[in-house]
Amino acid sequence: MKSISSAPAKIILFGEHFVVHGVKALLCTIDKRVIVSSNQIDEKVIKIKSTLGNLSTNISSKSIDEQKNPLKPFLYIARKILEKNNTNSGIEIEINSEIPIGVGLGSSSACCVAAAASISGIFDKLSREQILKLAIEAEREIFQKTSGADCAVCTYGGLIEFNAKEGFSNLESKMDFSLVIANSKETHSTNHIVHKVQDFKDKHQELFSSFCDKENMIIEKALGALEENNLVVFGQLMSKNQDLLDQLGVTTAKLRNLVNVARGTSYGAKITGAGGGGCIIGLVDDSNLDNTLANLKNQDSECFVSKIDYNGLT
Ligand code: MEV
């Protein structure tokens, strides 16, 4: 039996990094997806075929090589599900993604969510809550400190407010906007940047705590702007969020330039995701979309336009 699942890429509108330290974040999903298909096979192996590489390993043996393998989260999910279903058969997994890897669009989380749904779907249908739990556990195999925000939005889709302690809720908004997304083509390691921010926090505790307070205020105001459909204020707050991220040291020269170019025509712009490379977003509507896109395209970046995708995991 073949089980196929798909999960969307994500954008962090507000709160990356601070969310790891207890602050709220606002996230949404966009219309770029990963599709994972899984098949039960007689051979006692887990076979993975993906753009991150291919792997074939015995269902129970854990070789040293696997420790640093980027496919480790999928092995974790496959083993956990085979164990739970008490079966000696193997699994063949194929991952096809249109989400660029390592640029802050949640490729790893979307893959974990789609893989958890696809692999478990061979045996029984897990609830979204169970899939999310499994996906976060799997992602922790390669990124221990994850807040879980990315997996949550990739599972439920739409626009969400996330808090690592209190959970998350879907937000309803009539605010009509698009995001111009510009990929700097500088790849990053989320794990590395998150540790860099932890070092910053350890060295500058009071300053970091004042940043968290400011971020909290920015997000409360952003929630108000969402309710009032105020794109102008929402954009200004995104730019304020960027200033804090810049002071945290997660912006590169290229990202700073892209943000400045986007700010020239959009309602506001910031990096999205861990930073240290990856993507920036500019908030636009029909009045300034074309100009923002054209200006960013002139800056040696890969650009595209997205709107919120409400489908989540399918
Ligand atoms: C990465 O997309 C977002 C971070 O806040 C890490 C996390 O929340 O797990 C940097």
Q: What is the pLDDT of residue 250?
A: 97
Alpha-carbon dihedral 60, 61, 67, 73, rounded to 10 degrees:
-20
Distance CA 147, CA 13 (A): 15
233: alpha, beta or left? (left if phi > 0; alpha if psi -120 to 50): alpha
> Does 199 qualify as catalytic in the annotation?
no
Residues touching ligand 1 (Cβ under 6 Å) are 12, 16-17, 19-20, 104, 146-147, 149-150, 190, 194, 273-274
Distance CA 64, CA 156 (A): 35
DSSP assignment, residue 100?
A: P
Burial class of residue 50 in the structure, from the number of CB atoms within 10 Å of its CB (0-12 exposed, 13-18 middle, 19+ buried)? buried
Percentages (nearest 5) of helix, strand, coil residues in the chain? 45, 25, 30
Compute φ and ψ for 116, nearest 5 degrees: -60, -40
Q: What is the mean pLDDT of each run of 10 residues along the chain (314 residues)?
A: 96 98 97 97 94 87 67 93 90 96 94 98 94 96 94 97 94 93 93 96 98 98 96 98 97 97 98 97 98 96 95 95
| 274 CA: nearest ligand 1 atom | 10
61 CA distance to ligand 1 middle (Å): 31
16 CA distance to ligand 1 middle (Å): 5
Q: What is the pLDDT of residue 95?
A: 97
Nearest CA to ligand 1 atom 8: 147
Run of H or E residues at 182: strand 178-183
Q: What is the pLDDT of residue 84?
A: 92
Q: What is the pLDDT of residue 59?
A: 87
Residues 222, 214: contact at Cβ < 8 Å? Answer: no
| 146 CA: nearest ligand 1 atom | 9
pTM as predicted? 0.95
Q: What angle, rounded to 10 degrees, do the helices at 149-156 and 128-139 form? A: 150
Run of H or E residues at 293: helix 289-297
Beta-carbon contacts of 266 under 8 Å, excluding residues fewer than 6 positions away, are 180, 235, 282, 283, 284, 288, 292
Going from the N-terminus, what domains does the chain have, and what CATH number goes with each? 2-171 (3.30.230.10), 178-306 (3.30.70.890)
Q: Please give the structure tokens belonging to residue 32.
A: 């770029």
| 145 CA: nearest ligand 1 atom | 9
Distance CA 215, CA 240 (A): 9
Q: Please give the structure tokens belonging to residue 207.
A: 């300053």
Choice among 65, 150, 199, 202 that is catalytic: 150
- Residue type for position 22: G
